Chain A
Amino acid sequence: MSYRYIESVDGALPDVDKESVLLKLRQHVPQLRVLHTEEEMRPYECDGLSAYRVTPMLVVLPETVEQVRQILQFASQFQVPVVTRGAGTGLSGGAMPLEKGILLVMTRFNQILSVDPVACLARVQPGVRNLAISEAAAPYGLYYAPDPSSQIACSIGGNVAENAGGVHCLKYGLTLHNILQIKVLTIDGDELELGSEAFDFPGFDLLALFTGSEGLLGVITEVTVRLLPKPGYTKVLLASFDSVEKAGATVANIIGAGIIPAGLEMMDNLAIRAAEDFIQAGYPVDAQAILLCELDGDEPDVEEDMACVEKILNESGAVEIRIARNEAERQQFWAGRKNAFPAVGRISPDYYCMDGTIPRHALPHVLTRIQELSEEYQLRVANVFHAGDGNLHPLILFDANTPGELERAEAIGARILELCVEVGGTISGEHGVGREKINQMCTQFNSDELQLFHALKAAWDPDNLLNPGKNIPTLNRCAEFGAMHVHAGQLPHPELERF
């Protein structure tokens, strides 16, 4: 599919003249930095979903909350859509621009306003990088727990908008579980404080509603995050298996024994080999699957749990178990996993990263089906799996320069997401719906459920000016594009079966 906004199915957008918008915006928001030439705007044509590019009408880079308010009031008054963008690392096209819209870039809000080591919280502007928060907290022995793989670059505002995850979610939760309060601006320019530094707040849980709303409800101007004491002791082991099923069963056995690892990751053979070629982490390239299991906490507790995990691994048929003897070895074990995406990028001109989540018991079935689909579509698929929380990242390998491969990659990706829904899972565990998975929303939710989502949106943004076309599909879109996916076995492009 093309991810371009299609007015006939996504909803009509107001027709506005670029030159007059530019002129009026400059009057309305003095001192605002505005980019409007093709050249200036090129870096903003896409986010982390880089296969799809759209030139926005205008790019604005405000520096004060007052300017953001003025931009939103301007957008509301002149009916111009607004797409908010943070660091632009999102993988689902949530910050993909609109030709008829303003791209609101929040990167200049990059200040850490305060770190309170007693209350264990930090107040930061939305453009602050995820890792920068942990770095600022480190002198106090504290850190910010959610660690999406893009944490060097991604911004906390984007993390909140996407409810970002990471490899430590099973034990430490998603972004929502690690933020206390946000300040947001509505399309009318009202500033709202959602949440509280106390453990709860009166009224509806608007903090929960806003987190993960992908820029459709308002613009985040400040975030207060919870900081945690760094675990005193951390240990990681690497176990190899001669079958994916055994590795999957082992995950259930570890959790069934009452152990909550800080991280529990699985990689299949193709991902192992790619990672090993790239980073030489010492991964066993003959293994059909490896498990990385990290435990953290007090030393004696970690040692007790580690002994228990080792016993389970032996009983579950692990071929080899290696325990990192020191911090350098621990980092080495993780290096392969953390570089799995770029490693796959080396063995294939392009790859497409999926983000379905499934109940863990469905893993063997889902991996078998992915293998069958891989053969059907003649595209290799490497699997990287946050095994602890069921979040699967199949990486579909393709070459965009070979005609038809991108379309095939999209088609198999769509089938994989539908498979996740079929087994009781979801189309997105942590990357968000954005533009990328907009059609698969029609598989996960029926029209009544989608209508409720639209009603929630209308309470915040009745004119649908904030990030239109993302996150929630119109019923028209589902009728046009969603239906073809609903009946399993019906290929979107039957002609592709000739491959």
Chain B
Amino acid sequence: MTTNIADQDQTERLLKQIHEAMARRTPLRIRGGDSKRHLGRPVDADELDTRDHTGVVRYDPTELVITVRAGTRLQDLNNLLRANDQHLPPEAPDYSGVATVGGMVAAAVAGPRRPWAGSVRDFVLGCRVISAQGKHLRFGGEVMKNVAGYDFSRLLAGSHGCLGVITEVSLKVLPLPRASQSLCLDVDADSALRLLAQWKRENLPISGACHWDNRLHIRLEGGRASVEAACARLNATPISDQVWEDLREHRLPFFQTPRTLWRLSVPATTALADFPGDVLLDWGGAQRWVKSDAPAREIRRIAAALRGHATCYTPGVDDNPFEPLPPEILRLHQRLKAQLDPARLFNPGRMYAEI
């Protein structure tokens, strides 16, 4: 295995800075590439920078597992995997190459393939983490099946650094699909959802489905024969794969307009709602990007009516960009934070003011 990823173990430096912060009782704002600073509440604290803690700890393609240090850039990881005909199926955004693997796991933001391939959390097998007690700990492992103890490494996925500093991650990886073809079809949003439901029943090898401006974009992935058969069945216009990257990285013109960007996550089969703004459907309808200046409570009301939740992606608009939690769930979050990080050392208030 050859890689240009620098082998730099910065554990000692990270531990030292954390121990100092513990002694001074001053909180830390954990950062990798800071590519997701627009997501969540601002944290006013000293920075703990993980970007130089890089390197591939272990990678044997036949084990379908890679272990990397948290500061490794996601783009470098993806390049290494691609060179071995493998990939990380949730295709998390790499924000023009800035995002780190630690940040990907901490934020657990996934790309267009998520509904068909699984979430970032689904591919986490284990991690090393520095606790708020300043200990470097190991959970999970490098094997597919592991039920010893609580699944703390998957709890860390999406915890936005509030429970510990991820230093190393083991991820399940899979072979690249043999064949891939993207297509587009001019239909309105209602027809798009109806077609997607029909194709789901037919078990077509779909791995991406998004819709905006009366155009449905589909990606087919799988064996050569099944992709060819599905192409023939759909009778749509072949297009370049670029659309998925532009969607994942929010580079489409839809995302460039000045209005507030909201993300709604809803069951895929829920009907379209009347939104006070523009809508881009992703994930076959389960992830709905909304550009709207309507008040937060209005957007959240619509999300709740669709049995989903809303996240504000534009900083500075809503003091609580993440969907407020039901009181009994919030209490549990507070108790978990109090048990694991009683001094509120790591990313205080990043997800919710109370944790």
Contacts and interface: CB of A to CB of B under 8 A. Distances in A.
Interface residues of A, number: 86
A359 interface: yes
B304 to A, nearest CB: 11
Contact of B223 (A202, A297, A444): A297
Interface in B141-190: 141-152, 154-155, 157-159, 162-163, 174-176, 178
A341 B175 CA distance: 33
Interface stretch (B18-26, B27-35, B93-101, B332-340): B332-340
Interface residues of B, number: 83
A425 B226 contact: no
Contacts of B336: 204, 456, 459
Interface stretch (A98-106, A149-157, A256-264, A330-338): A256-264
B68 interface: no
A380 interface: no
A118 B269 contact: yes
B159 to A, nearest CB: 5
Contacts of B141: 357, 424-426
A213 B266 CA distance: 27
Q: Which of B155, B178, B311 has the most CB of A within 10 A?
A: B155
Interface stretch (B69-77, B211-219, B320-328): B320-328
Interface in A174-212: 174, 176-177, 186, 190-193, 196-206, 208-209, 211-212
Contacts of B328: 190-192
A78 interface: no
A232 interface: yes
A297 B122 CA distance: 21
A486 B2 CA distance: 36
B144 A256 contact: no
B143 A258 contact: no
B345 interface: no
Q: Which of A162, A170, A204, A357 has the most CB of B within 10 A?
A: A204
Given A192-B328, A208-B155, A459-B332, A298 B147 contact: no
Contact of A252 (B62, B115, B265, B324): B62
Interface of A: 118-120, 141, 162-163, 165, 169-170, 173-174, 176-177, 186, 190-193, 196-206, 208-209, 211-213, 229, 232, 252-253, 255-256, 258-260, 297-298, 300-301, 304-305, 357-361, 386, 388-391, 424-433, 437, 441, 444-446, 448-449, 452-453, 455-460, 471-472
12 contacts: A174-B147, A176-B154, A190-B328, A192-B328, A198-B308, A203-B351, A258-B178, A304-B224, A453-B150, A456-B155, A456-B339, A472-B149
Interface of B: 60-65, 85, 108, 114-115, 118-119, 121-122, 131, 133, 135, 137-139, 141-152, 154-155, 157-159, 162-163, 174-176, 178, 197, 200-201, 203, 205, 222-226, 229, 265-269, 283, 286-287, 307-309, 311, 322-326, 328-330, 332-333, 335-336, 338-340, 351-352
Given A176-B122, A258-B85, 10 more contacts: A191-B328, A196-B265, A204-B333, A209-B154, A301-B223, A390-B143, A426-B145, A429-B143, A449-B137, A471-B150
